[in-house]
Amino acid sequence: MARARTIDARVPITHVMAFHEYNVDLAAIVAADLGLPFHDVETVRSVRDKHRMRQLLDAADSPRWAVATDEESLRRAVVSTGLPCIVKPRDGSGSDGVGLLGSLHDAGRLSHPLLVEQLLRGREVSVEAFSEGGVHKVVGVTAKHQFAGSLVEEGHMFPLLLDPVDHEAVGEVVRRTLSTLGVSSGPSHTEVFLTGSEPVVVETHLRAGGDRIPEMVQDVTGTSLVDLWIRQCLGERILDEVPEVSPGTDHHPTYSATWYRGANATAILAGVGDLRSVVAQHRAAGLDVRSLELRVSVGDVVRVPTRSGDRLLVGRACAASPDAAREAARALVAAVPVELVTSELAPSVTSHGSRTAASEEPSV
Ligand SMILES: Nc1ncnc2c1ncn2[C@@H]1O[C@H](COP(=O)(O)OP(=O)(O)OP(=O)(O)O)[C@@H](O)[C@H]1O
Ligand SMILES: [Mg+2]
């Protein structure tokens, strides 16, 4: 804060922006101190702190939950959540430290405090929305796919055109969540379970989705959410330009999918084929490939993904149907030759690896 004041005294700071969630709390404090528009400090806290968020949301919009500070309180928590349940850190991201607790026999290995939640069942989706002046517009719903037996995202597909009744219910719960948490501007990314009765919120974020979701929205709508975000931060009113992709919209000529590849075992990445030639081959075969990227470096230790940062490769492709888009992106990353050397030198890690925010992209 002192540094921000020093800079402000020399060259007046006129706008505050933060595009990564790790900086949003700091940006909110600086903005409040300098009297500039930004999210309220309290709103940022309510969104970042999953316990606080659960306290504020309507009970109907959350799973049953409790906080455990030790083994004894964990035993009490599972009485209300049931088993299996989900355990997670209060302020985690990238699925780091989020796990399924199947039995209290495993309780001793957990580090506290923990948020303990009822295991939601059903289909999980994510929702991009944009707010201005406290009005929330739903951009669209994204299908989310996880690696088998894991909570880490393997892929995404936009737009997911839900049944219109479900789409409306999802939009309602997202708008209610954003209003309850005091979100008045900017993009948000909310994870929601379609539980069969009412949609239930996993969490929300004061940013656009990670995992190339803004690029997928742009593939489909032609609009950059990030450009709108910057313009809004600079004081423009942009809500009218925010696209809305809903099941009622006439037709969606393009669907966009992002797909990740992970390692099957802990190993050292010894080599990777030429990504440009993989892209060229797929384009020559008629696929609408948008991007293909390596997310780690040759020489790195790679492992079965237990957090977003563990994933090796990501590809994005568009097609005329949801399945064709998913298949194109999946085939793209699968086609990359990867040489993995399983070695005793490659240390094995547990699912609760250390958190290294700096090396990770914004998580979904
Ligand atoms: N109560 C729950 N019931 C079922 N699944 C859940 C629950 N809470 C979390 N999950 C699953 O775990 C994933 C990660 O949980 P959460 O989003 O709370 O953690 P995170 O660390 O913020 O993850 P990320 O940053 O990857 O979104 C969710 O997307 C969802 O698939
Ligand atoms: Mg999440």
Does residue 92's CB lie within 6 angstroms of at least one atom of ligand 1?
A: yes
263 CB less than 6 Å from ligand 1? no
Ligand 1 in contact with 247 (CB < 6 A)? no
Q: Indicate the top mutation candidate among 90, 145, 151 to test ligand 1's pocket, ranked by most ligand atoms within 8 A of CB.
A: 151
> Among 75-89, 302-316, 343-357, whose mean pLDDT is lowest?
343-357
CATH topology assigned to domain 123-241: D-amino Acid Aminotransferase; Chain A, domain 1 (3.30.470)
Confidence (pLDDT) at 363 = 43
User: Which residues, 6 or more positions from 90, have their beta carbon under 8 angstroms from its beta carbon?
Assistant: 49, 50, 51, 113, 114, 115
Mutation to probe ligand 1, out of 119, 146, 191 (largest number of atoms < 8 A from CB): 191
Instruction: Say whether 80 sits in a helix, a strand or coil.
Output: helix
CB 204 less than 6 A from any atom of ligand 1? no
Percent of the chain exceeding pLDDT 90 equals: 83
CB 304 within 8 A of CB 262: yes
Please say whether the beta carbons of 333 and 317 come within 8 A. no
Q: Does the domain made of 65-118 have the CATH classification 3.30.1490.20?
A: yes
Judged by its nearest atom, the ligand closest to the C-alpha of residue 202 is 1
Q: Distance, CA 359 to ligand 2 centroid (Å)?
A: 18
Evaluate: CB of 191 within 6 angstroms of ligand 1: yes
Span 69-93, average pLDDT: 92
Give strand pairing partners of 339.
271
What string of DSSP letters covers 81-137?
H-SSEEEE-TT--TTTT-EEE--GGGGGG--SSEEEEE---SEEEEEEEEEETTEEE
- Among residues 263, 125, 140, the alpha carbon closest in space to that of 199 is found at 125
Residue 344 has a pLDDT of: 65
Q: Has residue 93 got a pLDDT over 80? A: no
Region 37-47 average pLDDT: 96
Least confident of 50-59, 87-96, 285-294: 87-96
pLDDT of 358 reads 29
Verify whether ligand 1 is closer than 6 Å to residue 182 (CB atom): no
Whether residue 161 is predicted with pLDDT greater than 80 in this model: the reply is yes
User: How many whole angstroms from 124 Cα to the centroid of ligand 1?
Assistant: 10
Rounded Cα–Cα distance for residues 209 and 363 (Å): 8
Tally the C-alpha atoms within 13 A of residue 55's C-alpha that lie toward its C-beta. Answer: 11
Nearest Cα residue to 35 out of 1, 65, 69: 1
Q: Answer for the pair 122, 195: CB distance below 8 angstroms, yes or no.
A: yes
Q: 3-state DSSP: the chain helix, strand, coil percent, rounded to 5?
A: 35, 25, 40
Percentage of the chain with pLDDT > 70?
Answer: 93
Ligand located closest to 89 CA: 1
- Tokens for 70, please give them: 């030790």
- Ligand 1 pocket check for 171: Cβ under 6 Å: no
Architecture of domain 255-359: Alpha-Beta Complex (3.90)
CB count in 10 Å sphere of residue 121: 12
Element holding 75 (H helix, E strand): helix 71-81
Q: What is the pTM of this model?
A: 0.92
Tell me the pLDDT band of 356, cut-offs 50, 70 and 90: very low
Protein residue closest via CA to atom 11 of ligand 1: 151
Burial of 1 (0-12, 13-18, 19+ CB in 10 A): exposed
For ligand 1, is residue 151 a contact (CB within 6 Å)? yes
pLDDT tens for residues 323-355? 999 999 999 999 999 999 986 655 544 333 332
Domain extent listing, the chain? 2-38, 65-118, 123-241, 255-359
Contact status, residue 86 vs residue 101, Cβ threshold 8 Å: yes
Residues 236-241 have a mean pLDDT of: 98
Tell whether the model's pLDDT for residue 37 goes beyond 50: yes
**Is-contact 78 104, C-beta < 8 A?**
yes
Q: Ligand 1 pocket check: which of 88, 147, 363 to mutate, most ligand atoms within 8 Å of Cβ? A: 88
